[in-house]
Structures are given as C-alpha cells and as structure tokens.
Amino acid sequence: MMDWTDRHCRAFHRVLSRRARLYTEMVTANAVIFGDRDRLIGFSPVEHPVALQLGGSDPKALAQAAAICAERGYDEINLNVGCPSDRVQGGNFGACLMRDPALVADCVAAMKAAVAIPVTVKCRIGVDEQDPEAALDALTDAVLAAGADALIVHARKAWLEGLSPKENRDIPPLDYDRVYRLKARLPGVPVSINGGIGTLEEVAAHLAHVDGAMLGRAAYQQPELLMRVDSLFFGEADPHEDAFAAVEAYEPYVAAHLAAGGRLHDITRHMLGLFTGRPGARAFRRRLAIEGVKAEAGLDVLRAAVDEVRRAEERRSMVA
Ligand SMILES: Cc1cc2nc3c(=O)[nH]c(=O)nc-3n(C[C@H](O)[C@H](O)[C@H](O)COP(=O)(O)O)c2cc1C
C-alpha cells in the first residue's frame, strides 16, 4: 500500500507473523528501471516471503522490471490491476486495465518469460459499467492463459469517474460472492480475496471459499491482528506472547536503522496502531507523534512510549 507498506513497515509486520505474505507498495515498472533502486525496491532479508507489486502496462518494461526485482530476491511479482487513481489511469495502468484483458495477458506473459518466481495479478471485479460476471472472468481467463500463478481479487468495482482512490476503497459495494464464484469456477487456481476484511474470524470464514485473504487497512491499523496468524492459519507457534515482546524483538532492527543514520519516525510511524483499544494506547501514540518525530529521537523514545501502555495496564489491574 502506497506510503504505508514500505520496508520498515514490512520488517515490523514480519516480527508479528513469520508466515503472512507481505506486499510492497506499488512501484511502476519505469521507476524500477530508471529510478533509485535501493530506495524504491530495497528490502531486508528478514521480510521473506515478500512480493513486489508492479504498476504498468508496457509488457517490455514490466518484464525488465520484474527481472530486476527477481534478481534482488523477491519471492513474487504482483501486477496491479486495481488502483483507480487519476495518475495511474493517465499512465493507462491500474484498474483501467480491467477493460483490456488482452494487454494484461501480454504483460503477464512477458513477465513470466523474464522470471522464474510466481507472477500474480491483483484486480477488481470490474470497473464502471462493466458487468462483474463477464469482466472478472475475461480478465482472469486471459491472465491465467498467459501463465499467471495466482489471483488476488479486491471484491468491489472501481468507479473510475468521480470517486477518489479513498472513496474507491469504501463506496463501491463489496461482493464477496463474486470472488467465491470465481474460485468455484477455477478450482485449481489459487484465489485470494481482499476488501473490508477486519478480523481473523472473517479471514477464517473466507477461507471456507477461497485460498487466501489479503488484509490491507486492518493489518496496518491494528497490526496486533497479525500476531495470531501463524497459529490460526499455518499451524505454527505464534512468534511472540504479546505486543511488548514483539516490540523488544524489533528493537535490533530499529537500532540498526538509527545507527545507519535513519530517523526513529521512519519506523514508528508504522507502529501507531499497535496497542489499539488498550489502556495507554493514546499515550503511546502521543509520545511517538511528539517525541518520536524529533531528529535526535532514539530507542529510548520507543521504550518510553511502550512503558505508557505497560503502566496503564498495571494501573488498571490494580484497580480491578
Ligand atoms: C494508503 C493505501 C494505499 C494503497 N496502495 C495500494 C497499492 O499500492 N497497491 C494495491 O494493489 N492496493 C493498494 N491499496 C488498496 C489495498 O491494497 C486494498 O486493496 C484495499 O484497501 C481494500 O482492502 P482492505 O479493506 O483490507 O484495506 C492501498 C490502500 C490504502 C489504504
């Protein structure tokens, strides 16, 4: 997710779940080819399994970008066919590609020919006046014929006229059944569902119909959710007993970033949702928002913020 799932966010989420697959922000093919690669696609080995999401609609450029990313060690290349922003439409990629399955198929075929790792597609169920029955089948059949290894479907249309990207994540109605029907029609194809999933109980319910569930805002805004993913869905022990232990386990990563000249805020801005709903959560956020943004802020600020929650919980248990 743009501006959210950067490398620090992903490294933090990896502390919370060893198994959840993490996705980068969308990076355009041309940015990968011509831009500052360390900044745009650099990642830490701790992040695996991690997928890089590309935006674009030029098969040659996408193939070249995919090869560069595979060479860097990403585990999957995902093509964005779901972003509705004007900038993206201007470049003729993202959700507007729902109207051009043949071109998306050419893109997938070119990427598949360039890399050995899985190439997947994230799409909507349709755009604007399209009939989602026909539009989703046409797009998915085309990309599967071109070799796509899996599909992730944001279970709502994008309305390209008149809605902002933010509105396009909430206003077009969700249609989970449409994604379930896609999976029923394509039993051999890994299909993941996305859109409006807020709890792991909801994930479990979706998994009765599809192979995977992608959480966007819920995972970012309440990252503690991720702490039970490994035991609930992968049959493995969760990595940490609680969020306090998770933050401690993340400290060496934070220390390394600071030692390399990075700022605490680069990291803690992705942690504001931790402890949501608990006593002390607001004080935690306030500390990070006020003290964590200072240039000289160090690990002590993060520890002091976490202590706000610890103390608030102690106070509550004394009262109880
Ligand atoms: C801040 C933000 C940035 C996003 N950036 C991307 C992106 O780069 N690529 C993408 O496929 N989807 C992006 N999305 C959409 C999400 O991946 C997801 O499809 C959408 O939010 C619906 O899922 P959710 O209800 O679980 O959040 C973004 C969403 C948000 C809130």
Q: Is 183 annotated as a binding residue?
A: no
Query: Residue of the nearest CA to atom 3 in ligand 1?
Result: 1
Share of the chain above pLDDT 90, in %: 94
Sheet bearing 150-154, strands edge to edge? 22-28, 50-55, 76-81, 119-124, 150-154, 191-194, 212-214
| pLDDT tens track for 95-115 | 999 999 999 999 999 999 999
The pLDDT of residue 317 is: 86
Q: Are 84 and 165 in contact (CB under 8 A)?
A: yes
Query: Residue of the nearest CA to atom 16 in ligand 1?
Result: 216
DSSP state of 36: -
Q: Of ligand 1's atoms, which has the minimum distance to the CA of residue 82?
A: 11
Q: Is 162 annotated as a binding residue?
A: no
Q: Which CATH class is domain 7-234?
A: alpha beta
Q: How far apart are CA 127 and CA 125, in angstroms?
A: 7
DSSP state of 210: S
The pLDDT of residue 117 is: 98
Please write down the long-range contacts of 277-281, taking CB distance under 8 Å and 24 or more positions apart: 277/222, 278/309, 278/312, 278/313, 279/309, 279/312, 279/313, 279/315, 279/316, 280/308, 280/309, 280/310, 280/311, 280/312, 280/313, 281/309
Domain with CATH 3.20.20.70 in the chain: 7-234
Whether 308 has a pLDDT exceeding 90, the answer reads yes
Buried b (16+ CB within 10 A) or exposed e, 95-109: bbbbbbbebbbbbbb
The pLDDT of residue 85 is: 86
